[in-house]
């Protein structure tokens, strides 16, 4: 092995040593900051609201025709979230992360499954092309996975690298919702454009605030675990339950036989 190769190996070793020096492994924690009574209350409220919403959407399916596609999406969006909140309430779906704080990974599993369904719902309402919807779904899945990896990272540099990836893949999704999908919805005009506008801005606002909460909880650990849980619970209620009820409120509009999404043709 030549001197150049040895120097490269030594350089990589120094880099890894520097990264390890920044790490605070959860196993080194003597105590863990866990969710308090306020956070547990927020988990309970979110569980009940999302669970009841799921039941309402299931009951509504029987009276739907072409709207069934939207109700099925809403059922799984709220249903999967309800399961995640049940896991968190029952003391499951969490682990300790760097900074010695409780981290509910069950929430990320739910987001990984439900966020694509939210994008799909928006795409169907707008009547967007399958390729556009698929690209946005892929990007949001990468964004959520990166956010999860950043949360469980024990090395500070690695944590923020994952956060950058998460934001970089979230931005194209927000642009698609605010631009590409909106153009398709606007072409249909009238009530479709109106309901899409409400759903789009609701989703954009929720998905902008979500990484902000991450920044001051899993990121800088400035928020307490309870406050973090309260904020995420509120965002889930708004972004899932209220999202679903807005779609249900447009029941007649989405039943219009002249409205057919290219994604279904």
Mean pLDDT of 216-225: 96
Q: How confident is the model at residue 161 (pLDDT cuts 50, 70, 90)?
A: very high
Question: Residue 181 pLDDT > 60, yes or no?
Answer: yes
Nearest to 207 by CA among 147, 124, 162, 161: 147
Contact 127, 185 (CB under 8 A): yes
Question: Residue 36 pLDDT > 60, yes or no?
Answer: yes
A 10 A CB-CB count for 2 gives: 7
Sorted by sequence, the CB contacts under 8 Å of residue 246 that are 6+ apart come out as 195, 198, 199, 202
Question: Residue 261 pLDDT > 60, yes or no?
Answer: no
Which pTM was predicted? Answer: 0.88
Sorted by sequence, the CB contacts under 8 Å of residue 51 that are 6+ apart come out as 78, 82
Q: Report the C-alpha gap between 140 and 147 in whole angstroms.
A: 10
A 10 A CB-CB count for 91 gives: 8
Q: Look at 83-92, 218-227, 252-261 and tell me which has the smallest mean pLDDT.
A: 252-261
| Residue-wise pLDDT tens digits, 56-112 | 999 988 887 778 899 999 999 999 999 999 999 999 999 999 889 999 999 999 999
Mean pLDDT of 183-197: 91
Q: How confident is the model at residue 1 (pLDDT cuts 50, 70, 90)?
A: low
């Amino acid at each position: 092995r030549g001197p150049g190769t040895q120097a490269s190996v030594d350089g990589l070793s120094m880099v890894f040593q520097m990264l390890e020096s920044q790490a605070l492994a959860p196993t080194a924690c003597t105590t863990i900051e866990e969710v308090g009574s306020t956070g547990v209350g927020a988990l309970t409220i979110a569980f009940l609201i999302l669970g009841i919403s799921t039941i309402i959407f299931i009951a509504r399916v029987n009276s739907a025709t072409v709207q069934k596609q939207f109700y099925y999406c809403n059922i799984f969006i709220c249903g999967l979230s309800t399961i995640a909140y049940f896991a968190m309430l029952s003391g499951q779906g969490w682990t300790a992360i760097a900074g010695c704080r409780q981290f509910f990974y069950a929430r990320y599993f739910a987001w990984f499954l439900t966020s694509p369904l939210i994008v799909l719902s928006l795409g169907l309402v707008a009547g967007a092309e399958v390729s556009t919807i698929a690209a946005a779904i892929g990007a949001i899945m990468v964004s959520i996975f990166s956010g999860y990896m950043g949360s469980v990272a024990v090395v500070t540099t690695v944590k923020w690298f994952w956060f950058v990836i998460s934001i970089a893949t979230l931005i194209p999704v927000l642009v698609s919702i605010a631009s590409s999908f909106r153009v398709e919805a606007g072409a249909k005009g009238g009530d479709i454009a109106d309901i899409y506008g409400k759903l789009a801005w609701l989703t954009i606002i929720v998905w902008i605030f979500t990484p902000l909460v991450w920044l001051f909880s899993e990121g800088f650990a400035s928020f307490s675990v309870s406050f973090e849980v309260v904020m995420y619970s509120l965002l889930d209620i708004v972004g899932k339950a209220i999202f679903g009820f807005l779609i249900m409120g447009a029941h007649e509009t989405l039943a219009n036989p002249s409205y057919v999404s290219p994604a279904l043709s």
